[in-house]
Amino acid sequence: MKLSGRFEGYNAEYLRRDLMSGLIVGIIAIPLGMAFAIASGVKPQYGIYTTIIAGFLISLCGGSRFQIGGPTGAFIPILFAIVMQYGYENLLIAGFLAGIILVLMGLFRLGMLIKFIPRPVTIGFTAGIAVIIFTGQIANFLGLRDMEKHEDFLSNMKEIVTHLATINPYSVVTAVICLGIILATPKYFPKVPGSLIGLVVSSIIAYFLFEGKVATIGSTYGPIPSTLPGFQFPELTVEKVLQLLQPAFVIAMLGGIESLLSAVVADGMTGTRHNSNRELIGQGIANIVTPLFGGIPATGAIARTATNIKTGAMSPVSGMVHSVVVLLVLLLFAPFASHIPLASMAPILMVVAWNMSERKEFLHIVKTKTSDSLVLVITFLLTVLTDLTTAVQVGLVLAVILFVKRMSEILVVAKVLPDPSKKHENLGPHMVKEGHDCPQIAIFNVEGALFFGAASMFEQSIMRTIAYRPKILLLRMGRVPFMDTTGASNLAAVVHDFQRHGGVVYVSGIQPQPREVLVRMGLENVIGKEHFFEHTGEAIDYALTQVDRTKCRGCRHFAFRECAAFSKLEKPETYGAVVDQL
């Protein structure tokens, strides 16, 4: 794997800036790693392990120069549900399988496909995840006791309401102190990580003033070991792989989406371009290795990546330094982490949820009252009330259906005739009216994609309009950018029906892609290669030579400028001479 592209021109100044950025981001990542792990239903040290191992590998092997990887808030609902249903050991296997899926996605160059997920779907599930994270910390913020954890949102809300009588005022005071510091720090000390300061200060206050009166990491999960766990390969069986394949796929998809969104944000902040397929491979490698040391699934962290850039990072070295910083803190200060109150962790996650909620974008899309609003709201509600898998699947299907509907509405099929008042006699539908419509030549403008969602409308529009059976049907297809086999089949139905009644079909201005589809389906030969014209004018000129000359005599429609002369013809043999003069 080539690394040179991301380290070109690297020098001592770059290293100094990377060391500083890595130090700052590493300090920020410590409380977040523990908080995300706790919220995911596992011990806090597993979040630290993930930050160290996955964070290092994502920076080393990924496709973005500035990506910071590790556990993220977006994973919390998914990982919590997997832990509740399958257990921690199987979560490691699901993460391992997800890593393999991500590597395969990168190798098969599927990085671009993830970018096509509609924005309302991503905002919907991101906002839903934010709600789940925020509400999931209410119990720790209030210090509620004897809480039973559930997989679904409504049961957890009911649990909170049922146990409100067990509010611990010491936990509330601890949480409020931490929250106040987190909110105040950016205003007065913008370069200081507010989450870390809030965590340390509130923990010290709780330790000296409320000892034994608030739940801590140590009292709830036991002491945090000051070493990394040993290597342990998961026990894989066919049954387990099949059982965990769906959760693994969900982890891989969300991890891919989150990491590429983070890389896009980094590109926008730095003017660089990431390699999406390489990023997926890097994420995959990280998620394959991390579970072997007890770590949970990881992805690119948007907020930490943005902080990395703002603090002067120049290369992936900053991301690797951030992991080393976390490792040193684990080795030196792990015993102190056991005294951190859960109430101090809750505000950190609540602020993370608030920041990731995309509330402004959410409200903006809702206010548009379009089909995007519907997709957004449904995805959001399903994320909160069911699960992320269902939400994304339904959101994507609904988005596709509404997109197809919009595209079908864009297709315009209109009968047209030349407008003699225009310099080039442009064709327009306003010229077609009673008493002014050629009985022998029907010309149609076809504008828009001719695909399965619009093909039926195309066929019906033409067949309904030409019920009087003209001799020639001219289709102007210069503004048809795309045609699928369904569109071609409906066009074939029109052609066959028209030819069966003795008519002839001409096509003008057709673009390469639709023409290729007609060739592959054999429709080009059915229409006749000689009946394809580059320009509509050429097609009309040729059509006028093919009309029934006897029907032109006495016709008062005058659809074309030649019609005045044709209408006065007394002898059929003079027709050719008139055309030659035009």
Give me the residue label for tokens 């120049």. Answer: 314
Q: DSSP 3-state helix, strand, coil percentages of the chain (rounded to 5)?
A: 65, 5, 25
**Total domain count, the chain:** 2
- What is the per-residue pLDDT for 574? 38
Q: Under DSSP, is residue 418 helix (H, G, I), strand (E, B) or coil?
A: strand
- For 8-51, the pLDDT digits (tens) are 778 889 999 999 999 989 999 999 999 999 999 999 999 999 99
Co-location of 369 and 478 in the same domain: no
Tokens of 290: 């991390």
- Residue 8 resides in a domain: no
The CATH number given to whatever domain includes residue 561 is: 3.30.750.24
- Cα separations in angstroms, 514 against 167, 461, 508, 524: 68, 19, 12, 11
Looking at the domain assignment, is residue 185 inside a domain? yes
Environment class of 264 (CB within 10 Å of its CB; exposed 0-12, middle 13-18, buried 19+): middle
- Residue 136 covered by a domain: yes
pLDDT (tens digit, 0 to 9) for every residue of the chain, 582 residues total?
A: 444 466 777 888 999 999 999 998 999 999 999 999 999 999 999 999 999 999 999 999 999 999 999 999 989 999 999 999 999 999 999 999 999 999 999 999 988 877 678 889 889 988 999 999 999 999 999 999 988 888 889 999 999 999 999 999 999 999 999 999 999 998 898 878 888 899 999 999 999 999 899 999 999 998 899 888 889 998 889 999 999 999 999 999 999 999 998 998 899 888 888 999 999 999 999 999 999 999 999 999 988 999 899 888 999 999 999 999 999 999 999 889 899 999 999 999 999 899 888 899 999 999 999 899 999 999 999 999 988 778 888 988 998 888 888 888 889 999 999 988 877 778 889 898 888 889 899 999 999 999 998 988 999 989 888 877 899 999 999 999 999 999 999 999 999 999 998 999 999 999 999 999 999 999 999 999 999 999 999 999 999 999 988 888 888 888 888 887 787 754 444 333 333 333
- Asked if residues 538 and 518 have their Cβ atoms less than 8 Å apart, the reply is no
* Residue 564, pLDDT score: 78
Reading the block at residue 328, the tokens are 């040193």
The verdict on residue 2 lying in a domain is no
To which residue do tokens 């007890």 refer?
A: 294
If one counts every other C-beta atom within 10 angstroms of the C-beta of residue 564, the result is 11
Q: Are residues 432 and 503 in the same domain?
A: yes
Which residue range is the domain that position 550 belongs to? 411-581
Tokens of 338: 């056991």
The last residue of a domain, from among 366, 400, 434: 400
Q: Are residues 29 and 76 both part of a single domain?
A: yes
Answer with the one of 375, 400, 425 that is the final residue of a domain: 400
Question: 565: number of CA atoms within 13 Å, CB side?
Answer: 13
Residues 301-337 pLDDT 10s: 988 999 899 888 999 999 999 999 999 999 999 889 8
For the chain, what is the total number of helices (H) and then of strands (E)? 27, 8
pTM of this prediction?
0.78
Instruction: Confirm if 244 and 91 have CB atoms less than 8 A apart.
Output: no
Asked if residue 3 belongs to a domain, the reply is no
